[in-house]
Amino acid sequence: MDPNEIFEYVTEGMKWLLIGGGTYITTLVGLNGIPRLFSEKIHSQEDLDRIIAEETEKLGMTITVISKFHEDWEARATKLDNGTYEVHLGGFSARRSSVRHELYHIHKEHHEHPWRNSNGLIRTLNYLLREEPQAIAYEVFRLKL
Ligand SMILES: [Zn+2]
Q: How far is the CA of 62 from the centre of ligand 1 (A)?
A: 20
Q: How far is the CA of 105 from the centre of ligand 1 (A)?
A: 7
Judge whether 85 and 77 are in contact, CB under 8 Å: yes
SS3 127: helix
What CA–CA distance (Å, rounded) separates 33 from 8?
37
Q: How far is the CA of 98 from the centre of ligand 1 (A)?
A: 9
54-107: per-residue pLDDT in tens? 999 999 999 889 999 999 999 999 998 888 999 999 999 999 999 999 999 999
39 Cβ contact partners less than 8 Å away, ≥ 6 residues apart: 95, 96, 97, 98
Q: Where are the domains of the chain?
A: 3-141
Q: How far is the CA of 69 from the centre of ligand 1 (A)?
A: 17
- Higher-confidence position of 93 and 120: 93
